[in-house]
Amino acid sequence: MENQELIKQVTERAQQWLTPAYDAETQAEVKRMLDNPDKTELIECFYRDLEFGTGGLRGIMGAGTNRMNIYVVGAATQGFANYLKKNFKDREQISVAIGYDCRNNSDLFAKKSADIFSANGIKVYLFDDMRPTPEMSFAIRYLGCQAGINLTASHNPREYNGYKAYWEDGAQVLAPHDKGIIDEVGKVKVEDIKFEGNPDLIEIIGADIDKVYWDQVHTICIDPDVIKRQKDLSIVYTPLHGTGMNGIPQSLKLWGFENVHCVPEQMVKSGDFPTVVSPNPENAEALTLAIKLAKEIDADIVMASDPDADRVGMACKNDKGEWVLINGNQTCLLFLYYIITNRKKLGKMVGNEFVVKTIVTTEVIRQIAEKNNIEMRDCYTGFKWIAREIRLSEGVKQYIGGGEESYGFLAEDFVRDKDAVSACSLLAEICAWAKDQGKTLYEVLMDIYLEYGFSKEYTVNVVKPGKSGAEEIQQMMVNLREKSPKELAGSKVTLVKDYKTLKQTDGEGNVSDMDMPDTSNVLQFYTEDNTKVSVRPSGTEPKIKFYMEVKGTLKSVADYAEADAAAAKKIEAVRTSLGI
């Protein structure tokens, strides 16, 4: 039976969108939903306001309060502008930087936002075309802005778009500003939005920022001599139709790589992403054309960036010459191993360096850091937390790299979000270093496992769309808290960490406090055999994520397939224990 009360509520909300405050096209779309006897779409579009969360907005494009459109984006921008004017009331001229990606409507949302900021007396630096997210972060710092926004839905499917809010340090907003902005956005009504811009306060930027940014990225090169020796390293790169085409080939060339092959079909800007099911470099399917080209030219490495060029995916040849994907945990592992090993080897360490990983990322990184006497910090998922660690130690300790299992890495501190431009450039250097020793990237990975221990990681995404899905996800977390598993795959759970309460409970039931900067809806389970399972609802997609890491034994490279299969079997047993 239909929920008549809910239908009544969404109908009343939708009818408010039939007023002259909304354009004719939007009104027609809303009227179509109201007239449809099937109220499913109407409910999905109007059952709630698309939440302006701690990172901004992300949702499906379309008409409605729960969709990405100029009115939802406009309210977010007006609220952000109001907060900036309160927070920087003594500043003569507040300024913001605005970037956007290749997605449908990203440029429209960016220009509307520029109009709204400028109508509120705020100076706007607007990129002339799509640019990588990290370049927008860089521009905030370089231009001395107080904030910035980026119109992107990162690696989400084509029907999505998003709005990321940044503060003056170039990082996505954290407390207290996140809550302050949310409060202001919540007060905005459509009639409050100042859509009529002031052109005198909008400055178009582009090539001038590109050059400074690329030059800065080049400064993180660790071993330029190895690149000179291996400048013919054969690289295949794809931007997956996105912003990486405006930065990554140029950066690779600046670093000295002369044999870069871009996938031509995917060097076409398109928010429809016509050559992939989903523009996510984490998915094997997205790298199909790149690997095809790599086989044709016998390349050394395949690399891909997502639509806003903050994540990097990669593939390389294994010991049998077969192309295999390198997962996000292995990616982070390779970067930090190379940075630590070669900075030490070349005498570039001064003793105050630190690296950062997120709590759901592989623990092998901890082994590398500890063995090399490098400080390693754990933080929450999301690069705003890595940026926070950089900010806390600015001028005191030197950040040399940090990453997360979801294919994001940041090797520098002049950007404060994950950066595929610098990551792809550094990845090429790692491959050049490996080739200089007669090795492949795959063999370097095996070297790491042999020295620091083997682990296998696997993430299960349980997708629960819509209103009912959100409620199911919430209930799953409640159930896990009330009835925590006592064992996983036959191994006793010896520690449970609850980041929502900041309490941890050991196997004997002893409870102690956890030291974290804020609470988060995350649970972690650790077992006697060093299995780690982390559970968290996604902050940007309708899913709950189960991150699993199991340990194994690897005595030689020849044993890898056997160790990997045994670990995969163990992961299946963990899934059975969790009922997923």
Catalytic residues: 154
Q: What is the 3-state secondary structure (H, E, C) of 253-287?
A: HHHCCCCEEECHHHCCCCCCCCCCCCCCCCCHHHH
Q: Could you give phi then psi for residue 433, rounded to 5 degrees? A: -65, -45
Query: What distance in Å separates the CA atoms of residue 255 and residue 168, rounded to the nearest whole number?
Result: 29
* Residue 160: alpha-carbon gap to chain centroid: 15
- Residue 182's closest CA among 280, 75, 288? 75
- Residues sharing a CB contact under 8 Å with residue 92, sequence separation 6 or more, in sequence order: none
Q: Specify the amino acid at residue 258.
A: E
Q: Specify the amino acid at residue 535.
A: V
Neighbours of 293 (CB within 10 A): 20
- Residue 304's closest CA among 320, 319, 322, 326? 326
- Residue 546's closest CA among 517, 520, 579, 497? 579
Q: Could you give phi then psi for residue 73, rounded to 5 degrees? A: -65, -40
Tokens of 376: 């390693």
> How crowded is the C-beta side of 357, counted as CA atoms within 13 Å?
27
User: What is each CA distance from 326 to 234, 330, 407, 446, 451, in whole angstroms?
Assistant: 18, 6, 10, 12, 19
User: What is each CA distance from 395 to 134, 353, 390, 391, in whole angstroms?
Assistant: 22, 11, 9, 9
Tell me which residue has tokens 């969709």: 67
Is the distance from CB of 269 to CB of 245 less than 8 angstroms? yes
| 167 beta partners | 147
| 408 beta partners | 311, 404
The DSSP H or E segment spanning 446 is helix 441-452
- Residue 416's closest CA among 435, 440, 436, 392? 392
Query: What distance in Å separates the CA atoms of residue 566 and residue 176, rounded to the nearest whole number?
Result: 46
Query: What distance in Å separates the CA atoms of residue 294 and residue 317, rounded to the nearest whole number?
Result: 10
User: DSSP assignment, residue 489?
Assistant: T
CA angle 462, 303, 313 (to 5 degrees): 20
Helices and strands: H and E segment counts in the chain: 18, 23
Burial of 283 (0-12, 13-18, 19+ CB in 10 A): middle
